[in-house]
């Protein structure tokens, strides 16, 4: 899977527009840097670089696979939210398998259950946020459409 980051898109680290995307290869691993061209007070061009991490994670994958997590870097999706939902779904599937196989120690299961209860406490605030944010985005879209018709 290639990166969806490209010049003209917002930087996931600082949200500035990416002017150049550098891919730096070090010992077989590709690391991503977003470049932002800025003008200093003296009028000279300055470059701000944001480190975005590896294009694809190699290290850590082995230890996270049993938990159902396939680590993804910033270069694999532009918004963090798809990673959140994918990680949560994969962890849920992995936990379901551990429960069905009776291989999860009780002390681990207790700690995980407490964490799930904490996540469950976010359901209503998340639903309220979704409604509020959807209205806000709809109003912004209307304002943009209305501004373009003048």
> In which residue ranges of the chain is pLDDT below 70?
1-3, 75-81, 147-150
Domain count, the chain: 1
Q: The whole model's pTM is what? A: 0.61
Cα torsion angle, 23, 84, 14, 64, sign: negative
- Does residue 91 form part of some domain? yes
Amino acid 1: pLDDT: 37
Instruction: Tell whether 92 is covered by a domain.
Output: yes
Q: What is the residue range of 129's domain?
A: 57-148
pLDDT at 102: 95
Instruction: Please check whether residue 7 lies inside any domain of the structure.
Output: no
DSSP string, the chain: ------TTSBPTTT-PBPSEEEEEEETTEEEEEEEEEEE-TTS-EEEEEEEEEESS--TTHHHHGGGT-----GGG-SSHHHHHHHHHHHHHHHHHHHHHHT-S-HHHHHHHHHHHHHHHTTHHHHHHHHHHHHHHHHHHHHHHHHHH--
Residue 26 lies in a domain: no
Does 83 fall in a domain? yes
At 30 the pLDDT is 87
Within a domain: 33: no
Question: Do the beta carbons of residue 10 and residue 17 sit within 8 Å?
Answer: yes
In a domain, 127, yes or no: yes
For residue 78, tell me if it sits in a domain: yes
């Amino acid at each position: 899977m290639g990166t969806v980051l490209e010049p003209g898109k917002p930087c996931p680290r600082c949200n500035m527009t990416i002017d150049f995307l550098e891919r730096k290869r070090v010992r077989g691993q590709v690391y991503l840097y977003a470049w932002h061209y800025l003008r200093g007070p003296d009028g000279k061009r300055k470059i701000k670089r944001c480190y975005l991490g590896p294009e694809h994670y190699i290290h850590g994958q082995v230890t996270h696979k049993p938990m159902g997590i396939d680590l993804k870097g910033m270069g694999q999706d532009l918004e963090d939210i798809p990673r959140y939902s994918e990680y949560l779904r994969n962890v849920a599937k992995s936990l379901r398998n551990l429960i069905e196989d009776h291989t999860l120690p009780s002390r681990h299961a207790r700690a995980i259950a407490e964490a799930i209860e904490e996540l469950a406490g976010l359901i209503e605030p998340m639903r309220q946020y979704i409604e509020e944010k959807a209205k806000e985005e709809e109003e912004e879209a209307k304002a943009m459409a209305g501004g373009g018709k003048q």
